[in-house]
Chains A and B, each alone.
Chain A
Amino acid sequence: MKPGRFSALRGLSIVPNALLWFVSALVPVIFLFAVIAAFDQAAQHRGLLAALDEHGRETQAVISTVDFEASRGYIFLSYPIEDGKDGFAVIRTLELYPADWLQSLAPGQAIDIVYVAASPHRYNNEAVPRAYYPDLQRNPGITRDIIGLFLFFLAVAIFRPHFIFLGVVSYDQITLAPPPQKPA
């Protein structure tokens, strides 16, 4: 192998390590945001379940729109109310439901839902499918992207914890290799 090519390969080999160091500097901040986001999602989910428990009503609704992309996916539904008008409800965060059930949905299809009655309740017009309501009550309501972010940065923190300790431990004391053990 030519010397020039060898040094270029060596240069390339430090890129992953440099990237890992760069990402590890972001760990404290992004991990905090991931935890806050997870708490927020869990709190919203518990809030919706509490609202369904207190003010929930069951009905059969017709699917108007299914969107898997926008706002973590949603299903827009309409259902008849007393005076001949239609009420509206929305099922959000579609990744909490089985993929095969989601694939089977189409506009015009009727499904049983439990929904929160209109204002003044919080989460009004939010709904969940009747069939998956018990499963949802056992679900923490945290989405996979947040769990992924949490686990990824946790792994980075294990392999490059130096930035997490910086501030508690002074810069001079942090070494890349552990200090040698004193002889007994």
Chain B
Amino acid sequence: MDLASNLAIAAGIIVEILLLWETSDRQKKNQPAPGFLSSGLSRLQEVIGLVLLVSWGVIALADYFDPPLSLGALSALQSYIMLPSFMFLFVFGMVSPKLLPRVNEQTIVVVSLVALYGLFSLTQLEWFWLAALLLPALGVFVMALTTRVIHPYLKSLLYFWYLICLFIMVLQSNFEMFIRPASELELTLFDHFIGGAAGIFLLLHSIFLVRFFLMLTALILPSNRYLMTLAMPQLFDDQQIPRLKFLGILALFGVILAFNHWSGLVASVSMLNILILLAVHFLERPLQLTERL
């Protein structure tokens, strides 16, 4: 990988961390600092925009001049990217998972369908695996169309399913760019950028999946169950967008996938990653939220 590709991955990681921070702040209803340029934007949103502009400027310059760097220098650069990233993943995935976005049934439906689409397009599964994957997805879909507030224990199972779907995404695609030679993959700088952003997001959730598995296992003892009741409001959101709008968004996502499959505009894995990030960070944002009950 050349300098521009490495910078694109680093930029993707930084932008995604800022987005996680911004989403977490917004979901916790923290009063954001007003922006310098517009009162409609928070300061953090302006910082994200600035980082995007500056990073893509630097990436374009690196791509244009393509400085001849030795393998040692490129390896050192990758280490400088990976080391802080793994520190971030460990701290915010295992020690203090404060940056995990809160999700609802609708987000889980989108993530499930995207992950399963990716899985089915890559591999043929036996009927029992198909059933094991499709039944929970169908169950979540039905719940996304209803307005009942579900019990924290059921929420914890849905959240576990959501984490498994993200882990499926990690397994099926996301390490390719780090493992296989760049010449085989023919990825663009945009693919590297999305790979960096989605990589940090998916790995963060994969590490939390380990912890959440322990949390779920602890439910075996009745005396521990109150802990899950306290934990789920931090991870799960009861607000959902109206049913028709949700179905419209789902159809739009389907059209985007079909168009990309037909046109080959963006690498398939990048498109799946974009849709997952959109669902988690932006699904409820442009629409008026509907309070349940």
Task: Find the A residue at minimum CB distance from B235.
Answer: A168
A28 in contact with B218 given A161-B227, A164-B211, A169-B230 (CB within 8 Å)? no
Quick one: which of A27, A32, A157, A177 contacts B223, CB cutoff 8 A? A177
A31 on the B face (CB < 8 A): yes
Q: How far is the CB of B153 from chain A (nearest CB, A)?
A: 15
A149 contacts partner chain B, Cβ-Cβ < 8 Å: no
| Inter-chain contact A158/B220, CB cutoff 8 Å | yes
Chain A neighbourhood of B94, CB < 8 A? 28-29, 32
- Contact of B78 with A by CB under 8 A: no
B97:A168 contact, CB within 8 angstroms:
yes
Interface range, B side: 20 to 34
Is the Cβ of A35 less than 8 Å from the Cβ of B210? Answer: yes
> Inside 8 A of B96's CB, which chain A residues have their CB?
167
A interface residues, how many (CB within 8 angstroms): 22
Complexed CA–CA distance, A174 and B229 (Å): 11
Cβ of B224 < 8 Å from any Cβ of A? yes
A178 touches B98 (CB 8 A): no
Inter-chain CA distance A28–B207, complex, in Å, is: 10
Chain B residues whose CB sits within 8 angstroms of the CB of A168 once the complex forms: 97, 215, 231, 234-235
With A29-B94, A167-B96 as given contacts, are A174 and B211 in contact (CB-CB < 8 Å)? no
Contacts of B230 in A (CB 8 A): 165, 169, 173-174
User: B223's closest neighbor in chain A, by CB?
Assistant: A178
Which residues of chain B (198-235) have a CB below 8 Å from chain A? 207, 210-211, 214-215, 217-218, 220-227, 230-231, 234-235
Cα separation A71 to B232 with both chains bound (whole Å): 43
Report the minimal beta-carbon distance from A159 to chain B, rounded to whole angstroms: 7
Given A168-B231, A168-B234, A178-B223, also A161-B95 (CB < 8 A): no
Q: Which residue of B lies closest to A174 (CB)?
A: B227
Docked CA distance A167–B234 (Å): 10
Contact B223 A154 (CB under 8 A): no
Task: Give Cα A154–Cα B98 distance, bound, in whole angstroms.
Answer: 23
- Please give, as numbers and ranges, the residues of chain A lying within 8 Å of B215 by CB-CB distance: 161, 164-165, 168
Task: Indicate if A45 sits at the interface (CB-CB under 8 A).
Answer: no
- Does any Cβ of B come within 8 Å of A179's Cβ? yes
Contact residues in B for A27 (Cβ distance below 8 Å): 214
| Bound form: Cα–Cα A154–B227 in Å | 17
Docked CA distance A168–B94 (Å): 10
16 A-B pairs, CB-CB below 8 angstroms? A28-B214, A31-B211, A32-B210, A154-B214, A157-B218, A158-B224, A161-B218, A165-B215, A165-B231, A167-B97, A167-B98, A168-B97, A169-B230, A173-B230, A177-B223, A178-B223
Closest 6 CB pairs of A and B: A161-B218, A167-B96, A157-B214, A169-B230, A168-B231, A165-B227
Binding site for B on A (CB under 8 A): 27-29, 31-32, 35, 154, 157-159, 161-162, 164-165, 167-169, 173-174, 177-179
